Amino acid sequence: MGNFMFDGFGMGPTRRHFLEQIGRVAGTSMVMAGLNAFGISTASATDAPPALTGSGKGKRIIILGAGHAGQTSAYELSKLGYECVVLEARGFAGGRCQTARKGTKVQELGGEAQTCKFDEGQHLNFGPWRIPFHHRSTLHYTREFGVPLEVMVNDNDAAYLYHENVPGALANKPVRKLELLADMHGHTNEIVAKAAAGGRLDDQLGADDRALLLEYLVSEGYLSKSDLSYRGTEGRGFKVNPGAGLSPGAGIESEPYAFSDILKSQLWRALQSVGPYDQQRTMFQPVGGMDQIAMAFQKRVGRMTRYFAEVEKVRQSENGVEAFYVDTKTGQRASVKGDYCICAIPLSVVRGLDINFSRPFADAIGQVSYALVGKIGLQMKRRFWELDDHIYGGHIMTNFSDINQISLPSYGWQKEKGVLLGAYVFQATAAQLSGQTLAERLDTALAAGEKVFPGRYRASFDSGFSWFWHRAQYNLGGWAEWSPEGRKTAYPKLLEPDGRIYLAGEHLSHLTGWQAGAFESAWQQIEKLHHRASA
């Protein structure tokens, strides 16, 4: 829910920079060790829900919220015979797993009513929007429910990098990532190779190792074997592309950028030999939108769900739990009684509800904050990024303070129209942008994109859609962000039930902001509940 930073993590820049350096020097295994040291994990811990035996017949479970954690709880517990009643405040399920398409109606708190006007077949995942290969819990359900997947291009060497207001010749111009990769590797390898050849690394290398290192540097950096210099490589592209006829083009290679210009531009900040563990070059997405996962769940648990049921109060005793709610369509109030309750509502909302938690438990709930985050989708009448720039998927990374990045769709290749992500913003930037009107938000995104694609971005614009999760009534934030102190003191308390109430959701995982966090949190809690109820 999907920086870019880590998609859904509340990691600060200092820790992120530290982990990136570990990755560049020591590889992914050390990155994972570093993440674990910070109390952060990015891979699924389990492949499938717990294998539970016994029967829950005769017992009713009240489940608050029909997001992924609530859906999972209802689905798995009902298979054991429990009667599950799911209370969902909205008229649909899925929580933050939402996709905007033609006819989608939303309204932020204090904001304007908005109806998506995308063409049929076009969509924007404005909640989670990618699945790593190691989120085995998410892939478990897409496999079990038969939700078809397609590749999401998460990193594209043909995509542009764009920095404005920086020194040097590369300022204010789109530069392909493959050009920067080739040149940065070439120039740095040349420096190291010449240092090694000149004996300046002899204290670290024996003669045999030095020869092998030089062989690697020449190969990896496309260096001349004669003088160890970098003069470019065909891998960065040609001035004239190869073709038919008498002008092959292959002999006219593009010229490398000056090393000084690359360094001054700071475009190299977007380059990594190995990306973060949760940001592979290719990832997965459901065909037709991420909400296909939520829809697949509802085919199985929809009959258990009461929609437009806004929970107002929950009371628990030694004998059971009662949840009081209001039907937001009719205004009528009702309640439901059960043996246990699984509260799968975001903690940002829970702390505003009237629930008789114990004082230590309520205090622990108050120790987690939620990310300010938003997205702006832009439908374009013409897929100029494919037709003119030959970029198929991936991200346009910028240093723009107002939009962060532009992401190109990984579906509908070579169709006439397409929806790109014109802005994906966080924290202070998200707060500022969310304060604009819908029209102002679109104008901000279009103005930024016009810098990268001049003369085409605004001219191709068709319709837009924006959403900010901190202004969503039943979410009040994009994902949970635990402080180290909160992870140490409050988080363990919330993993255990408070009386007959269990919490579940991405906030009770080390995968905050990811669908896998919701699934695996639910798995953990239903196992605890079932063992207790069975006993």
Confidence class for position 33, pLDDT limits 50, 70, 90: very low
For CA atoms 474, 477, 480, 482, give the dihedral sign: negative
Q: Is the pTM of this model over 0.85?
A: yes
CA-closest candidate to residue 453, choices 159, 23, 44: 159
Rounded Cα distance, 314 and 352, in Å: 12
Confidence class for position 27, pLDDT limits 50, 70, 90: very low
Rounded Cα distance, 520 and 479, in Å: 15
Options 2.130.10.10, 1.10.10.10, 1.10.3720.10, 1.20.1440.240; CATH for 177-265 is 1.20.1440.240
Q: Which CATH architecture has domain 60-96+297-368+481-534?
A: 3-Layer(bba) Sandwich (3.50)
Per-residue pLDDT at 39: 40
Rounded Cα distance, 53 and 49, in Å: 12
Residues contacting 247, CB < 8 A, separation 6+: 240
Rounded Cα distance, 339 and 389, in Å: 60
Confidence class for position 275, pLDDT limits 50, 70, 90: confident
Domain with CATH 1.20.1440.240 in the chain: 177-265
Rounded Cα distance, 376 and 385, in Å: 18
Q: Which two tokens stand for residue 445?
A: 């995104």
Domain with CATH 3.50.50.60 in the chain: 60-96+297-368+481-534
What does the DSSP assignment read for 218-275?
A: HHHHTB-TTT--B---GGG-BSS---SSS---TT-BPPPPPHHHHHHHTGGGG--SS-
Residue type, 314: V
CA-closest candidate to residue 314, choices 119, 76, 107, 498: 498
CA-closest candidate to residue 94, choices 230, 293, 299: 293
| pLDDT tens for each residue of 386-438 | 999 999 999 999 999 999 999 999 999 999 999 999 999 999 999 999 999 99
Query: Average model confidence (pLDDT) for the chain?
Result: 91
**To which residue do tokens 């494919």 refer?**
386
Mean pLDDT of 118-134: 97
Per-residue pLDDT at 248: 59
Q: Based on the number of CB atoms within 10 Å of its own CB, is 392 exposed (0-12), middle (13-18) or buried (19 or more)?
A: middle
| pLDDT tens for each residue of 433-460 | 999 999 999 999 999 999 999 999 999 9
**To which residue do tokens 């300022």 refer?**
171
Q: Which two tokens stand for residue 334?
A: 């009702």
Mean pLDDT of 26-42: 41
Please give the DSSP secondary-structure letter assigned to residue 304.
G
**To which residue do tokens 């008229």 refer?**
91
Q: What percent of the chain has pLDDT over 90?
A: 84
Rounded Cα distance, 361 and 90, in Å: 27
Confidence class for position 38, pLDDT limits 50, 70, 90: very low
CATH number of 99-157+281-289+372-471: 3.90.660.10
Q: Which two tokens stand for residue 92?
A: 């649909």
Q: Which two tokens stand for residue 132?
A: 């790593």
- 425: region left, alpha or beta (phi > 0 left; psi from -120 to 50 alpha): beta
Asked whether the predicted pLDDT for residue 31 surpasses 80, the reply is no
Q: Which two tokens stand for residue 153?
A: 């291009």
Asked whether the predicted pLDDT for residue 34 surpasses 50, the reply is no
Q: Which residues of 152-163 are buried (b: 16+ CB within 10 A; e: fewer)?
A: bbbbbbbbbbbb
Domain with CATH 3.90.660.10 in the chain: 99-157+281-289+372-471
